[in-house]
Structure 1
């Protein structure tokens, strides 16, 4: 079954591309994807919670002046397999996009949502996104697909009951 990108993914990809260009990075990496996803997807923000999102965004905006400087001129590849390539994306970012699509397919969904990408970003412990999550005391291991999607379903049920 083929899957399409939902509007939050399309918005996150466009913003990540702009962010990478502005930061003078050759490729979109997983930190660009995480930053853009948090800005564009209310479900991803809800799963993480307001306080964590504020910490994450506060940390991510420092990329061009702080911690991200050591990432300049380097290709993000955590070494996780399989190797997936997408033009303009680091191997880790391409792998996260591929994994997000696979998560949607496994759930019988025709659209890749932001939550699929959030779970995929957390699945690679060596990625820049996982590093950023750990820096603000978010355990990427607890953001696996099952946990993220179950939390999102609980949030939706809660909102429907209001």
Structure 2
């Protein structure tokens, strides 16, 4: 049997590892992203799947956006993923040089969905944020901050297309008294490096 993980792709955290380190609400978000990836025929959960599921399920995540209209625009882009926007992502691994997917061929059901390297990194960052706060479980805002930590992933691309400023959203998360306690431990990925 051929591997369902594309060559060069990281498998990401296992379901057991993830489920043991996230809140019940975030576990539901991850399950929703997994279902969305399988339904769309994607081989891996990517950052756009996670963003979509976060926006649908987590009111604290929606609250960091400018307005309800911005969330509606984001969801509009994400819903179009399989019928237009995002078609260029099919058959590619997020953030790994667009390596073609190795799998069972077109039309074959996807039985197991792994994680893109970017989605795996975002989940690890979410868990690290919770650790730095001294909390046993990561929350939705932790995952959103993890998604925003990589300015080149699909979730940030969707945010930009919908007119949402990832840097502004990240600052709002860091200002949150619940999830921002350890914000100083994370470098701002959008900050310009000073020139000597």
TM-score range, shorter-chain basis? Answer: 0.7 to 0.9
CA contact (8 A) 1:8 1:113 kept: yes
2:173 to 136, 139, 148: 148
After superposition, the C-alpha distances for 1:131-158 in whole angstroms (9 at most, x for unaligned) are 00001111112232x53142475xxxxx
Partner SS for 1:109? coil
- Structure 1 residue 9: deviation in Å? 1.1
Q: Scaled by the length of structure 2, what TM-score is found?
A: 0.68
Q: Which sits farther off after the overlay, 103-112 or 38-47?
A: 103-112
Partner of 1:24: 41
After superposition, the C-alpha distances for 1:38-74 in whole angstroms (9 at most, x for unaligned) are 1111100111132211111011100000121110000
Q: Scaled by the length of structure 1, what TM-score is found?
A: 0.82
* d(CA) in 1 for partners of 2:146, 2:119: 9
In structure 2, list runs of 5 or more residues that go unmatched.
Answer: 1-19, 98-112, 179-196
Partner of 2:138: 112
Larger Rg: 2
CA contact (8 A) 1:26 1:88 kept: yes
Mapped pair 1:75 → 2:100: no
Partner SS for 1:61? helix
Bigger helix share: 1
Mapped pair 1:34 → 2:51: yes
Written as runs of structure 1 = structure 2, the 5 A alignment for 1:1-162 is: 4-48=21-65, 49-77=67-95, 88-144=114-170, 146-151=171-176
Cα RMSD (Å):
1.8
- Structure 1 residue 78: deviation in Å? 5.9
- Structure 1 residue 101: deviation in Å? 0.6
- When residues 135 and 78 of structure 1 are mapped into structure 2, their CA distance, relative to the original with a 3 A threshold, is farther
After superposition, the C-alpha distances for 1:18-49 in whole angstroms (9 at most, x for unaligned) are 10011100000000000001111110011113
In structure 1, list runs of 5 or more residues that go unmatched.
Answer: 80-86, 154-162
